[in-house]
Amino acid sequence: MLYLALKAIFSAIIIVAVSELAKRSPGLGALVASLPLVSVLGMIWLWRDTHDTARLAAHAGATFWFVLPSLPMFLLIPALLGRGWPFWLALLAGCALTVALYLTMTWVGPRYGLRI
* Chain segment 63-115, per-residue pLDDT in tens: 999 999 999 999 999 999 999 999 999 999 999 999 999 999 999 999 998 88
Pure H helices in the chain: 2-24, 26-34, 37-50, 53-67, 73-82, 87-108
| Calpha distance 105→3 (Å, rounded) | 33
What's the pLDDT tens digit per position in 30-62? 888 888 888 898 899 999 999 999 999 999 999
Contact 56, 47 (CB under 8 A): yes
Please give the model's pTM, rounded to 2 decimal places. Answer: 0.77
